[in-house]
Amino acid sequence: MSFRRLGLGARISLAFALGGLVLSAFLAFATQGLTREVLLRQRENAALDLVLNNAQLVQSQLTEETDPADFINIVGALQTSSSRPLMEVETVWQGDGSGEFTQEDVPLELLERVSGQGAGVLRTRLDSEMVIIFGVPLPEDNATYYEAASLAETQSNLGSLQVILFGAAIVTTILAALLGRYASSRMLQPLRSVSKAAEAIAGGRLDTRLDQQVAPELASLASSFNDMAGALETRIEKDARFASEVSHELRSPLMTLAASMEVLENNRPQMPERAMTAVDLMSSDISRFQSLVTDLLEISRFDAGSAALQLEPVGIAEFVRQAVKFSEQEIEVDIPAKAEELVIDADKRRLAQVMANLIENARKYGGGATSISVSPLGRRVRIAVADRGSGVPVAERSVIFDRFSRGSAGGRRGADTGTGLGLSLVDEHVRLHDGQVWVTDRPDGQSGAWFVVELPISLAHLHPELDDF
């Protein structure tokens, strides 16, 4: 996953964790390095004292009468605990007899140092073990004393320290991540408040405002947001009031026109053919105009926030059957046995308009509805209307429920045209019921659109056998 795709809170937590990891790693490496040098220096000094004592002991026992066969006894008498002695007297090499430290184990670099009549020290690996090899020349006896001191204990201590530092780095990283999470939560809390307030305003709660903040920067943000929300609320209320007043003013002349058209239609048989055509066109447009004004009045109630539900128990199976019967269309109704007794709390008038608008939409633009199905889904019920049209293009599915949106079918509607508010009202009514509506392709693979409405089932009407359906 890209770093840019992470949320701001996750990025802050990750930044704290990486910072803690880098800091702890730096301290761990620094501590490891310093401690290593200190321990090695201590081990080297302690071993050097023993080596010098052993070198003096060797020098005191080497005389002109010393036989090479006695070299093994001299080496055996030395004080060695975790070290291995080796001496060279006039090209004769003698160890402690174990064969663990011989002439071949002495590095060439150390031999060159000691040959210059100077003591030498070298850290190297001997049989996969880290050791310190000391070389002390004994010029009076034409001899050199070597001793290899083991660093196994020091390496073990350093290994334990490394494990402790590694664990501390992990703990520090986790603590830094938790601190980052806490800090990001505190830092992003104002943004979450703004997000929730914006969602509430988008959902129709135009009186939502942010609380006053103590921090100057956040106080300015809250003040600007509240001013914007207030201006938006005023503008929407003004527009809704204007639409409502215009719609009310249009109802009276429309009623007069409708009455006049009724008189003309009663005298239609006595009219010439051209006059009858004009009367038919006027009658169709007046009916559409009346429907538009009615829908606008309904829409204005939603915009003004005055739309309220009149909830009552509704048997969804019988309700759907009655809606199909009222439409006077041949539509197959598919209701499983488990949904027959399903009851929801709904506003009958608004739910009836939802069903009527979906069926009418299918008749006008989808070749007519072919089936309506009802299916319980846990704590929700799904009502789906399928038609036999060409379907709704994917690019139009997100805007088809917008006001006055007719999609690609708008240019081929002909005389039987709608107001462009039917599906918008469906969306408003469904959302008022805390439900959702969308359109997709038919699940059976046939050509046509599939309009789906999901509504919640109240716990009072939820049957146990439907809870996991």
DSSP assignments along 211-234, one per residue: PP-SSHHHHHHHHHHHHHHHHHHH
pLDDT surpassing 70 at residue 460: no
Contact 371, 334 (CB under 8 A): yes
> Is the predicted pLDDT of residue 291 greater than 80, yes or no?
no
* Strand locations in 256-328 (E): 311-315
Query: How many CB atoms within 10 Å of residue 301?
Result: 15
* Residue 413, pLDDT above cutoff 50: no
Dist. CA 457–CA 463, nearest whole Å: 10
Alpha carbons 94 and 69: distance in angstroms, whole number: 9
Average pLDDT over residues 370-397: 90
Tokens of 464: 């146990």
pLDDT at 412: 47
Which positions ≥6 away from 219 have C-beta within 8 Å? 212, 213
CA angle 333, 335, 338 (to 5 degrees): 170
Closest CA to 318 of 351, 282, 363, 357: 351
What topology does CATH give the domain 216-304?
A: Helix Hairpins (1.10.287)
* pLDDT of res. 88: 81
* Average pLDDT score over residue span 63-72: 67
Q: What does pLDDT average to over the chain?
A: 80
Residue 126 in this model has a pLDDT that exceeds 50? yes
pLDDT at 414: 45
Judge whether residue 395 has pLDDT over 50: yes
pLDDT of residue 469: 44
Query: What is the widest separation between alpha-carbon atoms in the chain?
Result: 159
Q: Is the pLDDT of residue 217 over 90?
A: no
* CATH number assigned to the domain with residue range 311-466, chosen from the 4 options 3.30.1300.10, 3.40.50.2000, 3.30.565.10, 1.10.540.10: 3.30.565.10
Q: How far apart are CA 316 and CA 323, in angstroms?
A: 10
Copy the structure tokens of residue 57: 């002991």
Q: With b meaning 16 or more CB within 10 Å and e meaning fewer, what string describes 213-227?
A: eeeeebeebbeebbe
What pLDDT is stored for residue 243 in this prediction?
66
Structure tokens at 179: 């601190």
Q: Of the ranges 213-222, 246-255, 260-269, 344-353, which one carries the lowest mean pLDDT score?
A: 246-255
Q: Where are any strands of DSSP class E within 239-357?
A: 311-315, 332-334, 343-347
Taking a C-beta distance cutoff of 8 angstroms, is the pair 451, 385 a contact?
yes
468: confidence class by pLDDT, cuts 50, 70, 90: very low
Q: How many CB atoms lie within 10 A of CB 327?
A: 19
Q: Residue 216: CA atoms inside 13 Å, Cβ hemisphere, count? A: 0
Q: Give the global pTM.
A: 0.50
pLDDT at 209 over 50: yes
Most confident option among 28-42, 96-110, 375-389, 403-417: 375-389
Q: What angle do CA 310, 313, 315 make, to 5 degrees?
A: 130
Contact by Cβ (8 Å): 50, 83: yes
**Average pLDDT of 434-459?**
90
Percentage, residues of the chain above pLDDT 70:
85
Mean pLDDT on 438-451: 91
- Nearest Cα residue to 372 out of 402, 397, 339, 344: 339
Residue 20 and residue 32: Cα distance in Å, rounded? 18
Give 54's pLDDT tier (boundaries 50, 70, 90). confident
Query: Measured between alpha carbons, how far apart are the two ends of the chain, in Å?
Result: 36
**Does residue 382 carry a pLDDT above 90?**
yes
- pLDDT-derived band at 264 (thresholds 50, 70, 90) equals confident
- Domain definitions of the chain by residue range: 3-157, 216-304, 311-466
Strand partners, 456: 380
User: Does the pLDDT value for residue 387 go beyond 90?
Assistant: yes
User: Given a cut of 80, is residue 223 above it in pLDDT?
Assistant: yes
Residue 200 has pLDDT above 50, yes or no: yes
pLDDT band at 219 (very low <50, low <70, confident <90, very high): confident
Convert the pLDDT of each residue in 328-375 to its tens digit: 888 999 999 888 888 899 989 989 989 999 998 898 888 889 999 999
CA geometry: angle 426, 429, 432, nearest 5 deg: 145
| Sign of the four-CA dihedral 148, 151, 152, 153 | positive
pLDDT at residue 415 greater than cutoff 50:
no
| Separation between Cα atoms, residue 184 and residue 7, nearest integer Å | 11
Task: Please tell me the CATH code under which domain 3-157 is placed.
Answer: 3.30.450.20
Nearest to 432 by CA among 314, 345, 309, 319: 309
